[in-house]
Structure formats: C-alpha cells, structure tokens
Structure 1
Amino acid sequence: MDIQTSVQQYLKSKPATLVDFPFDNVTEVYKVKGKMFALLGSGKDHIKAPDNSTPYYLNLKCDPDEALMLRDIFPAIIAGYHMNKKHWNTVILDGSIPQGEIERLIDNSFDLVVSKMTKKDQASILLHL
C-alpha cells in the first residue's frame, strides 16, 4: 500500500470524520463535526520532495511550539501551505517521515480541533475513541 492510501485510510478512521472537496475534485479536506483537521493535496509545483518530485502533501493543525520543532527536525515538514503558518504544518509525503510519526501528527491535529468544540460534541466523538 502506498503512503497516500495509508494516510487516507487513517484519516477516514477518525470518529465523525467526513471528506469534503471545497476547492477542486482532487484536494481532500477532512473534517470532524464540520471543522477541518487535515487537508490532503497533490502535485503542487512549489512543494517539492528532496528528489525534486511533487508528492502528496498533508496540512495538519499543530501546537505552535511543536510546529517549529517539527520543522527543525524533519526537512519534509514546512510551514502550512496556504494556512496560518503558526498553527498549521505541511507534511510532504515523500517517504522520509515514518508512518507512525505521520499518524501521531494526524492524531494531534484531530485532538486539537476536537478540544475546541463544545463539551457535547467532544463527548459524542470521545465515545468512539
């Protein structure tokens, strides 16, 4: 299974998650209870892998301090493309970041979004975790 497919499956496995296509018919926006926690896109000329290819990329919400640290640790993590660069990172899915780390980043993004919801919405989501 390729990295794009495994990321899509993991994103879809999060409770109360729906996929939307508000920008075009290719860019996938993942929402929990109507709030975006991930965006999966492909082939942007200005988002390049180290081998100069244009792989899929994943925008994820992130704690601002952790976002900066991740950008220092992983060359394939950059400030969020077309997002608030303080709160979002773009993960270039070029195979350089371990799958477990990508899943942890997805979990953190999901949790950050859920933590800002009403107690009622949080409870309905947490029942499925």
Structure 2
Amino acid sequence: MDGQELQKVANEYATGLPDVTFEHRVGPNWELYKVGGKVFMLMTDLPGHPVVILKADPDEAVGLRERYAEITAGYHMDKKHWIAAAGGSSLDENLVRELVTDSYRLVVDKLPKSRRPVDPGPDPVA
C-alpha cells in the first residue's frame, strides 16, 4: 500500500467512527482527526512521502516499530506515545484500521465519561 492509499484508508475509516471531527491546517499542511476535542490521528506529507500519525500504547508502539519498517516514532509528536506510518509493502487495510481504532480508543478512554461517544464496537480485525 503506498502512502496515498494509506492516508485514504485511514481517512475513510477514521471519519466513520463516532463523534469524529476533522480539521485542516495550512502552513504546514496538517489534517487533524479529533474525538471529544482531542487529537487521535494526524496526516501530513513529509518530504517525499505521506504519513499517518497515530496514538499508540507505549509497549505496543515499540513492538510495531520493531515489526514494521514503515512504522516509526511519531513525527513531531511524543515519541513514546505516538507512531508514524508510511506506505509500504507490509501494511494492509486491516492493520491500518486496527491502528486507527487503537488510537481512537486510547483517546476516548481518557475523556470524561460525559464527553465519551458511543463505543465504536468490536475491533474490526479481531
């Protein structure tokens, strides 16, 4: 999956989750995806390649970076809690959806109960 396809899949899946809002910022060019006013996913184009930046459990983030060459520490974010995914042969749609879901849930779980949307349902790749 190339970087543009990665961003397309991530965008389509993220915007289908409950109570997600989208914000486009210029200078630099960023797309922000929020739930309850908190960012759970960002997209931008690094020099030469589009990336998707997602929140991740710190222990799982280490494993993802070790397993997938396309997943690195989060660009321009806290390197412990965020990952960046670029296009590459080892990423597929199911993994991208799983990463987006995990990021979304990590943010939702930290929201006050009064601001939490309906549970997004079972993990789509479980």
On the 8 A contact 1:38/1:59 being kept in 2, the answer is yes
Asked if structure 2 preserves the Cα contact closer than 8 Å seen for 1:62 and 1:87, the reply is yes
- Output aligned runs, 1:1-129, within 5 Å: 2-24=5-27, 26-42=29-45, 44-45=46-47, 54-122=48-116, 125-126=117-118, 129=121
Q: Is residue 62–residue 89 contact of structure 1 (8 Å, CA) maintained in 2?
A: yes
Higher normalized strand content (fraction of residues): 2
Mapped partners of 2:89, 2:14: distance in 1: 17
More deviation, 58-67/1-10: 1-10
Taking structure 2 as the reference length, the TM-score comes to 0.84
Matched residue count: 118
Compare relative contact order (CA 8 Å, sep 6+) and give the higher one, 1 or 2.
2
Letter matched to residue 39 of structure 1:
L
Secondary structure in 2 matching 1:19: strand
> Cα 1:100–1:65, aligned 2, differ >3 Å: closer, same or farther?
same
CA distance in 2, matches of 1:14, 1:111: 10
Larger Rg: 1
Compared CA separation, residues 102 and 120, structure 1 to 2 (3 A): same
What is the Cα deviation at residue 8 of structure 1? 1.3
CA root-mean-square deviation: 1.9
Give, as a single letter, the amino acid of the residue that structure 2 aligns with 1:32: V
Gapped runs of 5+ residues in structure 2? 122-126
> Are the counterparts in 1 of residues 42 and 54 from structure 2 also a CA contact under 8 Å?
yes
